[in-house]
Every structure is written in structure tokens, then in C-alpha cells.
Structure 1
């Protein structure tokens, strides 16, 4: 059961059908139990509340009669009798008031204003009228009514304040007037209204509002306005600058640049130069920062890009390429960019999936963004191809590249990154002005607290920085040695160490020899076990967690329980960087350690451990993707994406077909949820073509997954499944076979082969039930709900209950969508809207952006059906914004059509034509064949022309 108290008392059953509670006293009894939140209410208290001090004769029996009537409606087990009294059985958020408070708390805890605004709006949308409206005359209800009304008004005030930060002052100035009139003494509400009025250019109205408050407080309470609103009044009188509408930015959503762990030293001029090159008036769209490893190219690029974030409306994005193999293609790089920009979950809906470079260029063609391609020296040729395509197709696209070698394409501006400035003289003042010394002193003070530059050590510090050529990485590595050596001893040891260059560093450029010698020296100062862990860490392409480090670095010669302590020592020596729960090697250190790994003859065995570790990780997470840990599991696999790709590459190149097939079988559901269907298809094909032995059942499983993926990405794929065929034949695991039958069957129905698709889904349902797989049963039921209208609601309700039982949020989203469509078919607009809002919350939580757009457009349709054109326009605007941000062209088309419909209902024919023509233009430019959306747009244009 679900209960509504935010309005007239309402009850809905498990199928969301209204349940009628007859007789006023029975309704009052239910309301009383609800007001106590599932806690026990003594019988004497209930009698007093229901009959207001005038109970009938035999009041205990009369109360029992009312309880029996309520049980007949709700179910006998829903109203429980305990020694402390009667209580209503509530296990979660069955009451809309509890849901309202949960949404409000979630809004308060979120940092992003746009999300807070949406959550507050979702909370307020639960209200259908005054709380407990039909039992308000009962004394017991008045306290709860007052409490809920206060909570509602507080949320209204909080939402208004958030909307002010988002620049919505014009609409707020109009909306809050009536509410302020009903609650004239609420100062927080009036302050929001005054700010909105002022920002909307209505300073006189804002001042008049304050005078009205002052007058009413004096007359009714003999009081004066509080200090906060009085200060606002004074600020409005003075027209203080801070009252102006803020510049609305959403930097936190439009960049993935990491926060710097330490300040950037000695690069102020270089940062300014990069910014100037990429400024709007410079007409430079590709800047490449070159320099030797360890010189600080990445730090400089990130600092410059962060300073420019406000210039690029569609964001500034860091794409790390160090983890890609040297044989990577331009499409591999494009796939990494697509994933980073968050476009990956829409790729399945677009054409030309075999040309990812072209798809990327089309997706961002009208965007104003900066992409930072980091560590490109091993990928110069494919990066050059991608960069050339982006620069040609994206007029407002800018690229910032870091590499030891320039790309060498037209339009590229190359800026070498030199080492830090060295001291010109040895006196302390001159030494202190050197940026190399500044960095060394900062790192030394962090490693050896209390260290300062003074007259006694200035000459030694200068010598250290000169010996290390001002290379930032070398300076950071050596600074930690001051824990055990004085500056003079450290300088002497460097002179002894580097005086005659060793054989292994000859032939390198001078500064590269310095860095190599520094790494050699750091290496030789390590204990044997520290070296073992450090070189084995190099197999990771994108850092690692502690469990992964233990699995990969341990062996017969090193116990896993010793790895954490050894890692800690390497962090102290600045050879390993710890970021949250991940451990990373800096680029130059990783390259050096990879050489040491090969020298030790451990490359093959450590790579094998790495592949095994990540295959087992993927298999562990695979099943969790279908349960209550789904969101955290998605985030964990997101974090390991680069390492998982590396594991597949190593398995394939190492003739490990068995591990390759196991890995892709474990990851395909993750790729599906994230919308990375292109990656899934290519990875499955690669694994199936790998050399080596793989279990026959695993190969059949991979082929079945590939069939389901190809049905979703290729118009010709349906021909690969013969009529009556079952690609899952040969899979012995009944649970896995049933799930794959569902996956292939749903792909076939999407291709118009409804009969074959339904046959496989029905087989999946039978198999899941026989195997006791609740998830598989739920998935099949929800799919059949859309294919069998006569039993659709029944299937969807059972599927929703099963998905809720196993805790799969994605499944609940799909089930909710089916139930919403049924409610819409039945004309139940209130239930339709509520279900779509629930689906929207889940889609946003999981980061499934196409589902977010679908939920918003359905909500827009529901609002239009209810005659609420303004609300519909707001929803379609949100859908359009998300679609444009994620390059979801079909979503853009549908949002524009919705905006056209809303404009026509408002009587704005010009706006309607504008939106509908945009929808047609976007539909044609997207490469899709003419479809139902285009037909709707044309029909609406014709209707607008005739009205």
C-alpha cells in the first residue's frame, strides 16, 4: 500500500490503483495512524481523537468495529494490535510525506544548484493540496498539518533561494507575490521575493514590500523587521553590487579537471601565455606543449585549462591517453574522448558507429569546448588525425596537447616547456627568487617539517637545483632525502653520483640524462622489496587500488600483507602518488619502472597476474550490477575502465583467449548499462578472434552477447539470427542462458522481428522461473508488458516488485516506465506523472542520460495533457539541455517538438514554428531516416499554419 496525506487522504494498492476508504470515522482512524508514522497509538487516545471527548456507548467495541472496517480495506496484516496500542504497518516510504522529507534532505545535501532545484521541485510536486485536507477538522490532525505546512514553506523558500542563484529572478518575482500575500510575516520568503523583484528591475516594488512587512509587524506584533531583512533593505537602497544577479555557471558539471594537490610553482608566465594563445581573439585552436618527461607539461596544461574554464560554455575536458597502447587507432582515441565527454551512453542511438572519429565530430560540431589530450608522445600519428578532423569539423572546438613531440599539422602552435629557472647567483636573496629553488624548498618543507632556506644552506640548495637542471620531477624526488641528509650532504652525494654519466644514460639529451640519472639514484636507494613493488606497479595503465596492488605485486617472493607498508614508503619517497583510494606512478617514473620490470624478466608473469586480477574483479562486479550495490559498482568499474581495457589488450596479445573471453563476458552488461555498445561490440569481436584456448561454453556466451549487441548497433544484424533460432543453445548455466535469451530477444523486437523476439523472451521467462532467478524473471516480465497489452499491467507490476526485491535500480526504472505507459493509456495523469518523476530520479542517480531525457519528455507530454503548457515548456527545456550536452540528437528533436506543442497551446505561433522547424532540421542533419518524430513535427507545423 501507498498513502497520500499531502492533500486529501488517499490510498493506492500495489498496482497503483486508488483504494476507497469508506466512512469519515474510518478515514479519520487511518489519518490518525498515519500521523503517528507507524508508531503505536493507545486505544483510549484513538477514542478521544475520533469522538472529541464524546465517545459513544461501548466505545471500545465501536473502535474495534472501525479497525475491522479499515483492515477489510487495507488487509488484516496492515493494522497491527500491540500492547501499546494500534499501529499501521509501514516499512519504508509508503507515505508521501516521508518521501517529501527525503527529497528535501537530498536536495540540501547536494552541491550542484541545478540538481538541488530539481529535487526541491520533485518534493513540492508531491503536494496535491493542503495536508490532511479532508480530516483537518479533527484536533489530532492539526499539529501534523502545521508541521507539514511549515516544512513545505521552508522548502519553497529554499528552492526560491536556489533559483535566484540560477538566474530565475524574473519568474520568481511573479510567482512569489501571491505566496508572500498569504504568509506576510515570513521574512525569509519575503527576502527571496525582494531579491527577485530587485533583480527584475523592480526596485520600487522591493522597497514597498519591506514597508508592508514593517507596518504589519508593528500593527500585529508590536515588533520590527529582523536584522537580515533590514540589511537587505539597506543594500537595495544603496544598490549594492552584490545584489546583482550572479553569473550562472556550472563549472562543476562541465569539467573533469582534477583539483591540484599542491600549488603550481614558477609557471605563472607560461600559464598566461597558453591562455593568451587560446583566447577568443588569438585565432589559435591547437596548442601543443612539448618537453622532456618530468618537466611538468601536464601540470602546466591543467593549470592553464582550469583558468579558462569559464570561456568554454560546453566545458573543459582532460582526456588521459597514457594508458592507450602504441598501436591505438584514431577511433580508439575518439572512443576515449566520447567516454570522457559523457557522450558514450548515446552512441547506440546514432548512425555510423564504425566511424567514431566522424561521429565524435558530428556530436560536438556546434559546441564551444576545450579538450586537453594528455601524454600523446606514443600516439602522435593517430592523435594528429583526430585533431585535424576535430579542428575541421568543430569551429568552436579547441585542443591543448601535451607530448614530447609536436603533432606537425596545420594550425598547430608549439610551445616548449622548459625546466624551472635556476639561481643566477649564490646569495640567499637571488637563490630564493629561483622557481626551481621555490619548488624544492616547498617539497623539502613538506618532507622535513621545519626546513627553511637560509644563508647557511642557500649555496647547497642552489647546487642541488643546478645539478638537477631545474627538472620538477627530479627536484620532487630528491627533496624527500632531506629527512636523513643535510642540504650539504645531499648536494655532495649528487655530485658524486652524477659526475661521470653512466653508460645507460649516454646518447640522451643532457637534461634527459639528468632525469634518468636521478631515477637511477632513487632506485638504488630503495630496498629490494620496495623495488619489487615499484616495478610491478608499472603494469597498471591508470593507477590502482590497494587490493589490486596486493594482487599484482605479491608473489612467492613477496607476501601480499607486506604490500601496504611498502606502498606507504614509496609514497613518502614521492615515487608513488596517492589520490584518494588510488595509487599512481608519474609518467616518467612509470616508463622507467616498465624498463626495470622487463630487465627483471618479470614482464610476462606480472602481466598475467594483472589480467587475472582484473578478470576476477570484472566477474565479481558483474552480478552486483543487478542488485542494490548497482550504483557503486558502476562507479567502481568506471574508475577501472582504462585498466580493464589494458587487461583485454594484454590477454589478446599474450594468446590468452580464455581470459579475454571471460573478461568480455563479465563486462558486457556494464557496457550495456553505460551505453558503450561500440566498445562492447569491438571488444567481443577482439576476444573471439584471440589466439589460444577458451572454454566452449564461454565462447558460445560471448557470441550470444555479441549477437544482442549487434542487434542494437547494426541494421543488418537481425539477418544473423535465423527464424526460430536460439543463439544461446549450448550454454549449460540455466540462469545465464535465460538472461541471454532475454537480451537477444529484446534486440530482435527492436528490429521489428516481434514474433521471434517474444518467443525468446517467453523462453527466458520460463527458464528464469525454473532456475529461481528473480532478476531474469523480472526482466522478461517487463519486456513482455510492452508486447502483450492484455496482460501488460500485470506483468509490469510483478516485474517492478521483483526488481525492487533484488534491488536493481535500472530494472526499477524500466518497470516504472512500463507502469507509467499503462497509466497514461488509462488516462490517469497524476499516476503517470508520479511514475515518470520516480524514473527520472533513478536515471539521474545512475547517470543514464538518455533515460533522463526520455523521462523529461514523457513528463512534458503528461503536463501538456493536463493543460499545463508552462510546466511542459520547462520540462522540455531541461530535456533539450541534457540532450545537447550529451549529443543525443533524437532527444533534441523530441524536446524541440514538445516546445513547439507547448508554444502552440500558449498561442505563440511564431515560437511554435521556430521550435518545430528546428526539430525538422535536426532530424535531417542527424543522419536518421525520416521517422515518426519528423512526421509529428510536420503535422504540427501544418496545424499551426491552419490556426
Structure 2
């Protein structure tokens, strides 16, 4: 609806309006109240603007619309007056001046609503839903469009268009009602629109199906007379063909009645129906058992009313050539007078028929010849084919039938289990079954018959033996649909030898594969895609459905080439992982590529371990360790390294040493391992990462590593070492050095293209900015870091970036924003089972709660984390939680508890070496002493805290002075600089 700000209403009030053009022009408020537009010319101006549907109308054209060939003197001024009147009636903001004239901004009309309902009806697969939506759409009409301006030239185009849309909707509604067996209202529609042939056709079929053949013939005769009298024309060939079919009592078809409802395919039926309305040859492709036949029959049934000579099904899995099957369907005799294909084509030449050719894949060449010949000979023919591969005929439109979405698959499974007498309540088990059976309806229906005997959970656990498990069922179905194995056997038997070889070898991949993994076989791969045995995903990537993969793996093991194929697999993915550029401009792309191959990388390592190839296992686990570190999957990296180190067999010493460095199994072991890495740059990188990720750096170690990188002009290594040196400087409160090194690192990481490294160096700059109270710069740096983390998919880093933004908002006094960031951080950390991230976020929530006086809430956030921080040995966390709990106790008036907590926090703060933590503990103890009345000690402690901050160059920012100001107020003095030894 159009909206405007009311000048007489409270600030911000928006009033919405709706315009009516399906009848006399009207305006309504949001509550349905009619809004009066005074004076005929002003209403005409409104109608002229609405008729242009949001397009600007020039001043000259509006003058012509309103006054024709007799405009008033000073027409422009008069028009502006009418515009002003219209604005007063509606809203000043609604009528917009835009060169070359005026328009109504964002006007919503009943015509828009009508079109939206009609569009939804056309997309609806269910006839009852279509009829309902069309009825709702047609009810919007209050009379002829623009009824009060029906003679005005400016309205004619809109009136013509809307009238035609209404008539089309009436015809659509008539067809939908016919599908529902509702015929009674059609006579009135025919009387109102006697020359609409489509409406006549629906009515004639309705009368014929109701047993009123005479009336159907009279309806045609009436139209023929009217056309001859009024237009000197004859009925169309299509309607004449319908008339002849009624005379012959031959509105035929042989579609079977479906045995059960179709689940999860409403959108597919609608989509295929739309495609068939626009094309003459449509082929449904897809893997075996996906439901191509069922979808084709359902779609054909829905379209039956559009084909006067019926909808016919030819099942090509029957014995005989395709042309013989089709000839038998239509009763065409086979004799020697002329070829059977010619006789079938002649029989269909003047028919309007939809022919469903089912199960074409085993006779695809013969079906292609048949379809081509029939489509050329019979212009009224349309063909809907089902096949596991395309027919590749001229004009063919393909529609790939996908597996069922998970919710639909679960609904189908539960429904079929219920039909077999079983009640299913374990949603998780059903979800697992549907996932492992790839959402394939045939497989789900076979599995559902086993629920009564096995129970759904045991059934889910047995799917590794799916071919034995689903070896019976579906009596009376074609042999290829009776068991899961038979379904895939059917496709296997149709393959050439080179296609079978490639398909079984593809089973070695886990979770799919990239094209270059089998580039030498790309032509054969394309044929397997065409045969619906290989699925193409975005990327492109390729994969086998799980059941197809299980079948192909059986064939691979039978072939005797499993070990060789497995070796080629782990060799390929080892080289793939070693090529990954995770420190340069290809970082983002390689992270995505490695993500996609996670399952293959795992399977490759298992393969190398199984075959006792120690060197390959070590190479692969080393090559993926840094990737897993970046992704926050250090546990997975450690398990892979342990697995590789456990393989007996020859391996290069450097590869084994690198794995031990990654694991950092002990200081002596680590130094021995580093010494075995011959390449100095590789050794320096290993030592750097060991310090950065695992055990921390001494300054002399960083200096040594930096020297190696500079000697070999390794810009990435220099940036990495500078980042570590910057963190060390920050830890000892040397803010200038930290900022200088971090600035250099950001520039160097940007030069080599490592966004992750740039994010690490920016973290230092963000900390410096926050410590010095430059909150806008700190927030900008953290926002940039958050963007990088999200773009690179570094999910484990995102909660910390959000929490840092929360801390900055907290320091800035923006508590709602702080809570928003910390809540998002906590939620994401919890989703990743990251206890440290959860703790960091909840402490932020506690800080905000305490500063706003919500002490109980703050305490609730903090209570659970003190023991955890002690348990994991996180001294900064222990210090901060003690400080916050101490302040809560002080604010509650419990001086002794506050002092005990702050003393414990002070001990932990001293262990951290962070002067800010030490100062905070001193300030807390000062608060406890001031509360107990020991004002002298309190003053001395405040002074020492202040001196600690100043000597470290980390003064207390103004936004964080609330606790100190409260304590100082008790003393009635400013904080002092005296030293104090009392704790």
C-alpha cells in the first residue's frame, strides 16, 4: 500500500492507502474507510495517474487527459491547482513531481492484488486451491475497470488489459472447477462471453462428462452460428476437433488411477505443467526410483482438460519396440501396407494429445526416432517422457526430478510406514533414514515396509547393509522397482564397459569430487551425468547418491582394483593439500576448496594408513594441519597427526619431524624435531606457528625467527614474526612498539594476500586503540576483522570478534549495543561448543549488567565460570571474574567478601603480568577497605592503582571510571599516587 506521513498525527505516524480501479475509481484507508476525492477533474487526475501504473505522466499529457482538445487558459497553472487538491485529499508526499510531470509513489491497487492472486493460482498444482485463489481474485471486481472513466482515452489501454486478464482468469477458474466436477456456473459465463472459445471448450467437455452430450453439441452449434453471423468466421480447428471427438464419443485416455497420494511434489507438478504448456517435448530425467513416472502421470492427469483427444500412457518397459507399444496404445494395426511408424503418425496427425512415454532409457535411440517422427507429423501432439538420460531430440526440454526435500521425504516415509501398519515417532531416526537413502521415494517406500519388523531405529542402524535389507517388497511392480539392488542393477546393465569402470572407481570418493580429479575421463563422466548416475553440484562438483555409491563400491571390490584405486585417491589428495596456498592471494579460494574436500582428505589419510604408507600419511596430515588450525579444528588436526605418526614404515625424517612439531609433545622432543627439518624457512615457520598457536614466545625466540625470515626475504614470515613480537610488546604494555610492529605486519600481510594474517595483526592495533581510549578506531579495526573472519568462513573466530566489539561498546557506555554483540557471540560460541568463547561473551554480559545495577544477573553470568577458568588455568579470566564478583559484593555492602575476592583476584592478576589486571584488583581492594571504613588504606590502594596504570601507559579510560569514582566519593578525595604494601 502507498504510505505517507500525516502532518496532523504524532511524529512518525504513517498512513497507508489502497486504490481501487476494478470498478469505479476508489481510495481506501488501511482500515477500509473510503477516502473522498472531491471534484470530477481531480478524480480524473487520480485515474490518469493510476492508469500509468507508477510511471511519470508529463504535464502536457495530463492536460490532454483532463481537458482533451479544449484546455483552459493557463492550463499548467490549473493542473497544478488540481494536483494540490489531490494532495490535500490524499497526502502531500504521495503525489510526486518527477520530470516530465507527476506520478503516484508506491501506489497499491486492487488490480495488483488481483494479479498476485492469479499468479499464485497459476502456480498452484491443486485444482481446488486454483479455483479458490481465482474466486478470491475475481471477487475483487466491483464492475468494469475504471467504470467512471470508461469513455476517457487515457483509460482505454488499462481497461483493455484488465478486461482481458479478467476473462482469462474466468477461463482458468472454469477449467479448475471442471477438474473438480463443478459445472453449474459455466452456462452463465458462456452467456456473458459467448465468443470465448476456450470457455466454450471447457463447457463442452463439462457437459459431455456429465452425460449431456446433446447440450455439448448445441453449445458448439451456437458458437458456430454466432461466429458466422457476427464475424463471418468458423470455429478454430481445436474446437472443431473437440466437437468431432464428442460426436465419436472419443474423449479418451488410459492414464492409471494413482494408488496413493503424491507427497512433496506440488511445486514439481506445477513446474512441469508450465513447461508442457510452453513446449511440445519434455523429458523428466533423474536417478532410478526418484519418482519420474509418478510425477509424469500426476502432471498428465492435471493437464487432461487441455487435450481434447486425451492423455495416453505408453509404458516402454513392456516387450516390444517402442513404436509397437505406442501403436497398441492407440489401436493402430500393424500390416505390411506401410511402415508401422507411418501408420501411427497418420493416426495422430489431427489429434490434440498428450503422450507419456515412460521408461525410455533402455531404448533411448528408438524413442528419439519415434518422438521426432510423431512431433513432425502431428502438430497437436505433445510428449512427456521419463528417462534416466536425455533423448537428445530437437526441441527437447529437460526437467531433472530431484530427490525429495528432507521434510517431504520424512512425510512420505511416515505415511508409507503407517499404510503398512506401523506408527513412527522417532523423528531423529526417520531423518537419518531419509538422509542416508538420499530422499529417493522408491528407497523410502521399500524401507518403510520394514518398520513393522525391525523398528525405525534398528532399521536406521542397518542401512550399511541396505541391499540385503531392502531386498523384498513392492509385489506387482516392474522387476526394476521391486528391490533397491534391482533399481540400480537396471542402470548398471545399460552402461558401456568404460562407463562401468569409471562408475565403480568413483565410489572411492567421499562427499564428491572436483572435475580435475578425473579430468582424463571427463567425456565418460559426462555420460554418467546424462544417465542420472552422477549428480552435478555447484562448483562444479560431482557426487554419487549414497545408494549408488554403495552399489559402485561393491562393484569396485569385486573388480580386484580397490587397492590401486585407493592409492591413487590418497596420492591425489595429498598433492592437492600440498598445493593449497593458504598464505597468499589464493587463501580464500583454497579454504573453500579444502572445505569441500574435508571428507576426501579424511578418507585419503585412512587409505594411506590402511596401506601402511607412512610417508604419504605424514605428508597429508602435515599439509592439512595448518588448514585445520585456521578453521579452528585443532582436535581433528591432532588426531590426524597421531594417526600418521602411528604408521610403521619408511618416511622422510623431515615429514616425521614436522608432525612432531605440530603436536608439540614436549620441549625436548620439539627441539629435536625442529633440528631435523632441513629447510630453514620451513623450520622457522614451524617454530613460529608452534609459538603462536601452542606455547607462546620468548622475545629472543621471536628475534631469531624474524632474522631467518629476513635473511631469506620471506615477506609472509616477516609479517608473522612481527605480529608475534607485537603481541609480546602489548603484553608488557609497550604500546608504541606493539603498534609499530603490527602496522608493518598489516602492510606485509596485505602485500602477500594473507587476510587471516592481516586480521591477527589488526587485533593488536585494535587492542592498542581500545587501551588508549580510541574506541572509534578500535571498533573499525574489529569490524574489519569480523568481515574477514566471515568472508573466510573462520567460524571459530567470529564469536571473539563479536565479543571484542561488545567490549568496545561497553567501554563507550553503549550497553544495549554491548549486550547485542555479546549475545550473538555467546550464541555462536555455544553452537560450536566453544566453552572459552561462551565464557568470554558471558563475562561481557556480566560487565554490562553490573554497570547497570543488575547485580543478580551479573552474578548469575559469572558464577559458572570461576571454577572453569581455574580448571583450564586461564589466569586473566580468574583475575577478571574475581574482580567482578568482588565489586558485586561491595555494591551489596559485604566488605569482607569483597576483600577476599579482590585479594584472590590480585594474586591471579600478578600471575598474568598485565598491569591493567593488577590495577583493577588494587581498585577493588580499595573499594572493600572504603566500605569497611578503612579510608586511609583505600586511598593508598587507589593511588597505587593509578600509579600502576600511568607507569604502564594504560590510563583508566573515562567510560570505565565508574568504580573508581564511587570509591573516591566515599573518601571525599581524589585518587592518590602513594605506594602501598598492605593487601
What TM-score bracket applies, with the shorter chain setting the length?
Answer: 0.3 to 0.5
| Larger Rg, first or second structure (1 or 2) | 2
* Higher RCO (C-alpha under 8 Å, 6+ residues apart): 1
TM-score, normalization: structure 1? 0.47
